[in-house]
Amino acid sequence: MTDQVRSLADEVSAAVSAAMAAALPVELAGEDPLVRRSDRADFQSNVALSLAKRVGQAPRDLAATLSDHVSTAPFVASVEVSGPGFLNIILSDTVLLERLSARLEDPHLGVSRTQESQRVVVDYSGPNVAKEMHVGHLRSTLIGDALVRILGHLGAEVVRQNHVGDWGTQFGMLIQHIFEHPEQPWRSADVEQALTGTAVSALDALYRAARARFDADPAFKERAQQRVVALQAGDDETVSAWREIVAESEEAFQRIYKRLGVLLTPDDVAGESFYNPRLQDVVDELRTKGVLVESEGALCVFFDDVRGPDDKPTPLLVQKRDGGFGYAATDLAAIRYRTQELKANRLLYVVDARQSQHFDMVFRTAARAGWLTDSVEPVHVQNGTINGPDGRPFKTRSGGTVRLADLLDDALRRAREVVAEKDPSVSADLLDATAEIASVGAVKYAELSTSRTRDYAFDVSRMVSFSGQTGVYLQYTHTRIASILRKAHEAAADDYRFLPGLTLQPAERELALLLDEFSATLNAVASTLEPHRLAGYLYELATAYTYFYESCPVLKADSAEVRANRLALCRLTGATLAQGLGLLGITAPSRM
Ligand code: ARG
């Protein structure tokens, strides 16, 4: 594993910690050095104020002692004790500019590849066959895709797994209903003319009709159950209907992935049916190892601390009394496959937080079975719920689930309005292209800038806006940087270089220090699995650029050196924004 290149912020913290180790009693030396960015200096630490009493010194005296140590660090220009005992730390412009210069020369922008020894399975999206992909699947799909990109960029070997819900007793019901109602169209070739929706909308409707009959009509229920037996026994006619249903659904999922610019392909699908041939073997192994307990005819796993409201232990149901396997058995087979065959050492499950008990029990069962060694880390990367704009559960007016495709259409319409309003003279072609890029970017950024465990409201008009913390604002900032670089080029004045020796203006320092944080930010996402850290960082970067642009003339700078240095700042900011947005799966256009 490559060691991480520390950001200057980390270096400053380390220098204050080292000063503490030299100057303080051993039991205080390990305290947090309390380093923050500051308006008065590059960084400020108030550790002397917080520890003075315990050391038995006046805060200013303690600060002076620490300051003597910190000022010896090679990247520090000066340290000043201010007010009641703050340490104000100013960095060397030369060191700052040298670091930026190295980043600009590196196509990887100085990002440390800390994940090189990792093989990571990312299980994400996981929509269900014969059902519309709805807004609930959006979060897993977008968060998972960002993690795949970021971990891969940091050197991990990433294996995408789309755990599609393509197997189960519900298919008996659906297929039986379809056989009994051949007049109801559902194949895409038939429904394109008959309905405005897709094959999956038709299947979704048939599925609901089948469910209603199943609940109301005992004779149908009986036939549906026999159909499950036929499916499991491999009956030709039944299996071929199932295959067709799966194929129609997967095509619809791929259309959505393509529209969203998500990396998932048909090769990444390892759905529930993929594990079907392995389930018996998994159960046998669990049984031999004494992990399973028989309870009312079913095979279960129990945990002392997992109990229902009645205080009875809640089991993980592995095999039902009738011999059928469920969701848990499939996930146990998947975890064994991912560790033993895919040889992953990190298993990520980007799935709704409401499944946390399921994953907790699956992970613990796998550990009991010996499938998880110390070198394998399973993580349920939980996500919260998306609500409607009113903050309540997201439903259509008639109470149905909201189709993802409809939401994207909505965002696209809104983006066209906003783009046309910003530039009424925009050409039709550019409007089309921009609205597409802006709407998808807006939806993705709204998702990825929210902490993944929080619930949020899907509010298209807030997402698609040129101002505020939005994807459109970030894309727009990128186009402004691209535009200034074009102008420099046209004026044959595009010499760009970081020139150690220059004195930086406050807005330049602010931007420079942020650029220095890119690698640390990406690596923080890799360890916390929280893409919103990157999304938030990019917004800060765009804001700092805007401030820089307003306060520091670039093309009309006072000297050729200052212009070259500012153009280098523009370039590195543009490249960092483009790469950072790209890692969130968001396009960074040059014009819009
Ligand atoms: N199909 C499931 C659902 O819609 C998600 C699958 C998540 N992945 C897994 N390995 N269980 O809830």
- Give the dihedral sign, CA 492/495/496/500: negative
Q: Within a domain: residue 462?
A: no
Q: What is the pLDDT of residue 326?
A: 87
Q: Provide the domain limits for residue 250.
A: 169-264
Tell me the percentage of the chain whose pLDDT exceeds 90.
Answer: 83
Please state which of the ranges 132-136, 424-428, 522-526, 542-546 shows the lowest mean pLDDT.
Answer: 132-136
Out of 189-203, 409-423, 534-548, least confident range: 189-203
Average pLDDT of the residues of the chain: 93
Protein residue with its CA nearest to atom 5 in ligand 1: 126
Best of 137, 163, 337, 348 to mutate for ligand 1, by most ligand atoms within 8 A of CB? 163
Which of residues 210, 233, 264 is at a domain's end?
Answer: 264
Give a yes or no: residue 379 inside a domain. yes
1: pLDDT strictly greater than 70:
no
pLDDT digits (tens, 9 = 90+) for 267-295: 999 999 999 999 999 999 999 999 999 99
Q: Cα of 165 to ligand 1 centre, how many Å? A: 7
SS3 for 414-454 is HHHHHHHHHCCCCCHHHHHHHHHHHHHHHHHHHHHCCCCCC
Ligand 1 atom, smallest distance to 165 CA: 1
Q: What is the pTM of this model?
A: 0.94
Residue pair 418/465 in contact (Cβ under 8 Å)? The answer is yes
Output the CA 220–ligand 1 centroid distance in Å.
28
Between the alpha carbon of residue 265 and those of residues 2, 133, 251, the distances in Å are: 30, 16, 10
CA of 316 to the centre of ligand 1 (A): 16
With a CB cutoff of 8 Å and minimum separation 6, the contacts of 232 are: none
Q: Is residue 202 part of a domain?
A: yes
Q: Hey, is 114 helix, strand or coil?
A: coil
Alpha helices in 122-217 (DSSP H): 135-153, 170-180, 188-194, 199-216
Would residue 296 count as lying in a domain? yes
Within-domain flag for 485: no
Say yes or no: 284 and 375 in one domain: yes
Residue 404's pLDDT band (cuts 50, 70, 90): confident
User: Is 545 or 404 the better-scoring residue by pLDDT?
Assistant: 545
Instruction: Please name the residue that has the structure tokens 């240095």.
Output: 565
Among the atoms of ligand 1, which is closest to the Cα of residue 327? 11
For residues 283 and 380, membership in a common domain is answered with: yes
Residue 127 Cα to ligand 1 midpoint, Å, equals: 7
Is 246 among the domain residues?
yes
The pLDDT of residue 439 is 96
Q: Which of 351, 352, 356, 386 to mutate to test the pocket of ligand 1 (most atoms within 8 A of CB)?
A: 351
**Strand order across the 76-82 sheet:** 35-37, 43-45, 86-91, 76-82
- Ligand 1 residue neighbourhood (C-beta within 6 Å): 123, 126, 128, 163, 165, 331, 334, 349, 351
The verdict on residue 570 lying in a domain is no
Q: How many domains does the chain have?
A: 3
Question: What is residue 2's predicted lDDT score, i.e. its pLDDT?
Answer: 55
| Separation of CA 308 and ligand 1 centre (Å) | 22
CA of 523 to the centre of ligand 1 (A): 27
Residues 125, 45 within the same domain: no
- Is residue 322 pLDDT above 90, yes or no? no
Atom of ligand 1 nearest to the CA of 137: 4
Ligand 1: nearest atom to the Cα of 334: 10
Q: Kindly give the distance from the C-alpha atom of residue 276 to the centroid of ligand 1, in angstroms, as a whole number.
A: 15
Burial of 527 (0-12, 13-18, 19+ CB in 10 A): exposed
How high is the pLDDT of residue 197? 54
Residues 6, 14: contact at Cβ < 8 Å?
yes
Q: Which of 74-78, 151-155, 400-404 has the lowest mean pLDDT?
A: 400-404
Could you give the 3-state DSSP secondary structure of residue 518?
helix
Whether residues 23 and 51 share a domain: the answer is: yes
In this prediction, residue 345 has a pLDDT band, given cuts at 50, 70 and 90, of very high
* The pLDDT value given to residue 71: 96
